[in-house]
Structure formats: C-alpha cells, structure tokens
Structure 1
Amino acid sequence: MEFSTADRTVSDAILTSVGQASRTDPAELPVLYDVVDPDALDSIFSPGRTGDSGSAVRITFEYSGYRVEVCVNGSAIVVSLR
C-alpha cells in the first residue's frame, strides 16, 4: 500500500495506513514511539524539508507486522511482513 504525506504528518499517515492495511483502528495499534520517534520522523519529512537539494533520504522500519518505508519526497510504502 502506498500513501502520500502531503496533507498530514508522516506519523499520522503511517498510523492511518497501517490501520487500514491491518483493518485495525489506528488508536488500537501499538505505540509508534516504541519503534521510531514520531516527532523526529515528522521533522525529517516535514513539508519544508522534502526534496531539499536532491537528497535521497529514506527511512525503513518494521511496525505492527508491516515494513514501512518513507521517502524524502513524501511518499511511503507499507508492506505486510506476514
């Protein structure tokens, strides 16, 4: 599942997308902070920073049975590990 972070924070987009993929209310998912710092993630991928000087920042981590990959252009992919 791919998603864009253009209209929300990265951490919100991750929670929503993993919730949709797993058919779980995002409020019932494990705490994202146990896997990655949501504030740092939101800062790295904030709208003012995305696409800076051709950088190729990409962060990949596992969360609630999914591999989450976030790219500097604001796109992300959620893939089931099961």
Structure 2
Amino acid sequence: MTSSDAERRHTPAGNVESRVARVPVETETSATVAVVRAVAEAEDASPGDLPLLSDVIDPEAFDDLFDDDRVGRSGVSLSFDYCGYVVTVTDDAVTLDAR
C-alpha cells in the first residue's frame, strides 16, 4: 500500500493515531464488498485470501443497513473487528483503524 492509499495522522502529543485507511464507498457497491475490498487493499492481499466476513457479521443484515432503498437510513454507522482492524462503515466510507 502506498502512502496515498492510507492515512496516518499524529496527535499533538506525538502519539500515532490508529487510522489505517478511509475508503469511499461507491454507490453501486454493497457494504460487504466495500469492506472486503478495503481490508484486502490494506493487507495487500486478494479478497479471497481474507477470512470470511460472514464469520464476523451477518452479510445480508449488514447490507440491508446500507441499502439505498431504505427510508431513514442516513447517518447509519456500524463498527466491528475484522482482520486486526476496527472497521467502521458509514453511508459513504469504510474506515480501518488498527486495534
């Protein structure tokens, strides 16, 4: 991964924040696909080489949370642990923070 692929920020006290990457979610991409792609990119791996996301979350329910056709879904945010990251998904981005 290049420095343009990931964000690393420093706090004023000099501590490194845990932010690894923030990847925009394309409107036609499901939330599960967006997460797997973001983690695969961060790990410099093929999506098929990652553990099954379904071992961590229910993919169908997860995708339903971010379905464009749902009324009143704006502001939805969900975080969970996956592959050594705290993954946070919002309507517009997948953010990976190191644990």
Which TM-score bucket, shorter chain as reference? 0.7 to 0.9
Provide the alpha-carbon RMSD of the alignment: 1.8
Quote how far apart the aligned CAs of 1:56 are.
Answer: 3.0
Q: Between Structure 1 and Structure 2, how many residues are aligned?
A: 78
Q: For residues 27-82 of structure 1, what are the alpha-carbon distances to aligned partners after superposition, in whole Å with 9 as ceiling and x for unaligned? A: 11001011111111011111112xx43753211001101111112xx222332416
Structure 1 residues 29, 67: CA separation in 2 closer, same or farther (over 3 Å shift)?
same
SS in structure 2 opposite 1:11? helix
Q: Say if 2:54 is the partner of 1:33.
A: yes
Structure 1 residues 56, 80: CA separation in 2 closer, same or farther (over 3 Å shift)?
closer
In the other structure, the counterpart of 1:4 is 25
In the other structure, the counterpart of 1:15 is 36
In the other structure, the counterpart of 2:76 is 57
Gaps of 5+ in 2: 1-21
Which structure is higher in helix share? 1
CA distance in 2, matches of 1:18, 1:53: 28
Give the TM-score, by structure 2 length: 0.68
Gaps of 5+ in 1: none
Give the TM-score, by structure 1 length: 0.81
Larger Rg over CA atoms? 2
